[in-house]
Amino acid sequence: MLTLLFDGIAYGMLLFVLALGLAVTMGLMNFINLAHGAFAMAGGYILIVLMQRAGWPFLACLPAAFVLTAAAGALLERTIYRPMYGKPHLDQVLFSIGLSFMAVAAVDFTMGSSPQVVQLPAWLRGRFEFGSGPWALGMGAYRLFIIACCVALALALQAVLTRTRFGSRLRAAVDDPRVAAGLGLPVDRIFLLTFAVGSGLAGLGGALGADILGMEPTFPLKYMVYFLIVCAVGGTSSITGPLLAALVLGIADVMGKYHVPKLGAFIVYVLMIGLLLWRPQGLFSREAGR
Amino acid sequence: MSGAAQRALLAPARWRAWELAAWALLWAVPVVFGQHAALVNEIAILALFALSLDLILGYAGIVSLGHAAFFGVGAYGAALFAKHVWADPLVGLAVGTALGGLLGLATSPMIVRGTDLTRLMVTLGVAGVLLELANKFDGLTGGADGLQGVVMGPIVLPFVGRFDFDLGARVASFYSLAVLFAAFVLLRRVVHSPFGVSLQALRDNRLRLAAIGLSVNARLTAVYTLSAALAGAAGALLAQTTGFASLDVLEFHRSADVMLALVIGGAGWLWGGLVGAVAFKLLHDLVSSVTAQYWTFWIGGFLVLLMLVGRDRLFRPWTWWRRGAR
C-alpha cells in the first residue's frame, strides 16, 4: 500500500518535471505544444546513447541530456516555433503533431523500433524495506533518487521564479507580454530562454525516467496525454498547480494500473474528464484568464 | 423580399456547374478504375469522416482531437449488430449512425464549456476512455485481435435488386460513395440553412450570437450530435465493407489523420473533406510505396511546412512568396 503510494509519488514527480516546460510554454506564449514529449524522448535517447555506446557514467549523462535538449529547444524556437505563436490554436496543434510524427519516425529510423533497456548503475539498483504487513514500505533506490532530484529541481525553480530578477521578468512577461515589452523587457529573449529551459527540463525528465517510462519511438504520443493533463488540470500560472496535478495523476495511475491492470489508462482519462468538467479552467488557476 | 436580394442571398446555396461535374467524375472513378475499388472505398469513408469533422471544426469552430470516438462506436456498433442481430447492411448503417449520434449527444455537454485546450483534452479523453473500454471488454470486442467473423448480407434495394459484397470491393465502393453523396447533399442543405448560418456566426463570435437571442449551447449540442452521427456512419461503413473492426478504429492516429485530411482540403468548405481525403490517401499511397515504414516522417514534415506557410494559402499559390499575407 505504502509502496504503491511511494511509487506513485516518484512517478508523479517525474511527470511534473516532464510537464513543467509545457506548462510554461502554454502559460507564456499561449502555445499548445504537443511535441513536448519529443524533447523528453530526445533526453532519454541521449542518456541511452551516451551510457551504452560512449560509456559515460549515469550522473554525467543527466546534465548532458539537459544541455543538449535545451540547445535543440532553443534552435527550434528560433527557427520554426516563433512564427507559430500568433496563429490559431488549431494550427499550433497540427504543427506540433506534425513535429512529433517526424520525431517518432526519425527515432524509429536511427535507433530501431524496439524499446531500449537502461543499465542503471549498481548504487541505484538497491532497495530499502521498512515495516511489514499491509503497511510495508519498499523504496527502490532509483525511485528515491528520482524524488530527490525532482524535489531539488522544483525548489530551485520556485526560488528562481520568485527570488531572482529573471523570475520577476518572466512573471511580468507571462502576465502581459505587451506591457512587459513596453517597459523595455526583452520579451523575445525571455521566451527563448524559457523555452530552452523547458525543453531541457523535459530532456532531463526523460533521461531520469528512461527506465520507468520506457524509451521507445512512440514515446511522444504515448505520454502526450499525460503532460497535457498535468497542464490542463494544474493550470499554467504557478508551479504548485502542475506539481499537485502531477502527483495526483501519478498516484492515481500507479494505483489504477496495480489494482485493475486491464483498464490501463482508463482511470486517468476519467479523472481528467471529471476534473475538467468540474473546473474547466484548471484546478488551481487564477480566476478566468484574459 | 425582392427578387434581386433573394437571389443574392441564395446564391451561395446553389449548386455550381463544377460541383455537379466533380460528382459525376467521382461516380465515374469506380466504374473506370474497377481494380482500385478498395482504394476508392477507403477514400470515400475517410471523406465522409472528414466531412463530419468539417461540420464542427470548419462551421462551428469546435476543435476536436477525439473524433475517432464516434467513428469507433459506429464501427463496433455496426460490426456487432451484423454479427449478433441482423446482417442487413442498411439497417446496420442506421444502427452505427444512431450510436454515434447518441454518444455525441451524451458527450456534448462536455464541449460547450471551457477553452480550446479544455475541449482538446476532453475530446481526446473521451476517445481514450472508449479505447480502454474496448480493450477491457475483449469478450465483446475481440480486444487487440479485433472483432472477427463479421459476415455482411447483401444490400437489398427495393425495385432495384440485391448486391452482394464482393472481394474486389466494387459494390463496397459504390455503397460508400452513395452514403457519402447522401451525407454531402444533406450537409449542403444544413450549412446553408438559417441554422448553418447561425453556426458560422457562433464560430466567429459567441457572445454576439447570445446577445441577439439565439441559444449557443443548443446549437452546439445539435451540430455536435449531427457530426458524431455522420462519423458513426463512416465507422459503420468501414466495419461493413471490410467485415472487421479492431481497436485501431479508436486510436489517436485516426483522429489525427482525419484532421490532417481536412486541413489539407481546407476547413469550412464542404468540399474540403473530399479534396483532403483524396489528397491524403494518394499522398499516403505514394509515400508508402517509397518508404513504407517511415511515411509518418514525411507526412509530419508536410504538416509542419503547411502550418508554417499558412494553411489557407495552400490553394492560393500566388501568395506563397509574399510575406505576411495573413
* Closest by Cα among B41, B44, B57, B123 to B263: B57
Quickly list DSSP for A6-61: HHHHHHHHHHHHHHHHHHHHHHHH----TTHHHHHHHHHHHHHIIIIIS---HHHH
Map grid coordinates 537502461 to a residue: A118
Long-range contacts of A261-264, Cβ-Cβ distance < 8 Å, separation of 24 or more? A262/B135, A262/B136, A263/B132, A263/B136, A264/B132, A264/B135, A264/B136
Residue A40 is assigned to a structural domain of this protein: yes
Cα–chain center distance at B258: 7
Residue A148 is assigned to a structural domain of this protein: yes
pLDDT tens sequence across B164-194: 777 667 888 888 899 999 999 999 888 888 8
Does B129 touch chain A if contact means CB atoms closer than 8 Å?
A: yes
Rounded CA-CA distance A271/B129 in Å is 10
Residue B7 is assigned to a structural domain of this protein: no
Residue type, A193: L
pLDDT of residue A281: 66
> What is the pTM assigned to this prediction?
0.83
Residue B5 is assigned to a structural domain of this protein: no
pLDDT of residue B174: 87
Chain B environment of A98 (Cβ under 8 Å): 299-304, 306-307
Residue B9 is assigned to a structural domain of this protein: no
What are the grid coordinates assigned to B116, written together? 480550446
pLDDT of residue B317: 59
What would the mean pLDDT of B35-57 be, rounded to a whole number?
89
Cβ–Cβ gap B132/A93 under 8 Å: no
Considering the domain architecture, whether residues B193 and B204 belong to the same structural domain is answered as: yes
Q: How many helices (H) and strands (E) does chain A have?
A: 12, 2
Residue A249 is assigned to a structural domain of this protein: no
* H-assigned helices in A77-115: 89-111
Residue B100 — pLDDT band, cuts 50, 70, 90?
very high
CATH of the domain at B163: 1.10.3470
**Could you read off the pLDDT tens digit of each residue along chain A, which spans 290 residues?**
777 888 888 888 888 888 887 887 777 667 888 888 888 888 888 888 888 877 788 788 888 888 999 999 899 888 888 888 778 778 888 888 888 888 888 888 888 777 777 777 777 777 777 766 666 677 778 888 888 888 888 888 888 888 888 888 888 887 777 888 888 888 888 888 888 988 998 888 888 888 777 788 888 887 888 888 888 777 766 777 888 888 888 888 888 777 777 766 777 788 888 877 777 666 555 444 33
Considering the domain architecture, whether residues B129 and B198 belong to the same structural domain is answered as: yes
Considering the domain architecture, whether residues B140 and B168 belong to the same structural domain is answered as: yes
Chain A environment of B129 (Cβ under 8 Å): 266, 269-270, 273
Residue A239 is assigned to a structural domain of this protein: no
Number of domains in chain B: 2
Q: CA angle, A32 as apex, B45 and B230 as ends, to 5°?
A: 20
What ipTM does the predicted assembly reach?
0.75
Cβ–Cβ gap B133/A91 under 8 Å: no
Q: Could you list the residue range(s) of the whole structural domain that residue A131 is in?
A: 2-217
Bridge-based pairing state of the strands B161-163 and A127-130: unpaired
Considering the domain architecture, whether residues B208 and B311 belong to the same structural domain is answered as: no
pLDDT of residue B263: 85
Map grid coordinates 472505398 to a residue: B41
Considering the domain architecture, whether residues B158 and B254 belong to the same structural domain is answered as: yes
Residue B326 — pLDDT band, cuts 50, 70, 90?
very low
Chain A environment of B114 (Cβ under 8 Å): 276, 280-281
Residue B6 is assigned to a structural domain of this protein: no
Nearest-CB residue to A98 (from B65, B253, B304): B304
Residue A116 is assigned to a structural domain of this protein: yes
Considering the domain architecture, whether residues B80 and B219 belong to the same structural domain is answered as: yes
Residue B257 is assigned to a structural domain of this protein: yes
Map grid coordinates 543499465 to a residue: A119
CA distance between the termini of chain A: 43
Considering the domain architecture, whether residues B169 and B227 belong to the same structural domain is answered as: yes
Compute the mean pLDDT over every residue in chain B, rounded to the nearest whole number: 83
Whether B2 has a pLDDT exceeding 90, the answer reads no
Cβ–Cβ gap A280/B114 under 8 Å: yes
Considering the domain architecture, whether residues B307 and B272 belong to the same structural domain is answered as: no
Give the gap in angstroms from C-alpha A181 to the nearest C-alpha of chain B.
22
Q: Could you list the residue range(s) of the whole structural domain that residue B187 is in?
A: 19-290
Q: Note whether A218 and A20 are within 8 A (CB).
A: no
Number of domains in chain A: 1
What would the mean pLDDT of B285-303 be, rounded to a whole number?
79
Count of A-B CB contacts under 8 Å: 139
Q: Note whether B49 and B231 are within 8 A (CB).
A: yes
Residue B203 is assigned to a structural domain of this protein: yes
Q: What backbone phi and psi angles, to 5 degrees, belong to B148?
A: -95, 170
pLDDT of residue A290: 34
DSSP state of A116: B
Residue A181 is assigned to a structural domain of this protein: yes
Chain A environment of B297 (Cβ under 8 Å): 101-102, 104-106, 109
Residue A243 is assigned to a structural domain of this protein: no
Map grid coordinates 481536412 to a residue: B262
Cβ–Cβ gap B122/A90 under 8 Å: no
Task: Identify any residues that bridge with B163 across adjacent strands, giving them in sequence order.
Answer: B155
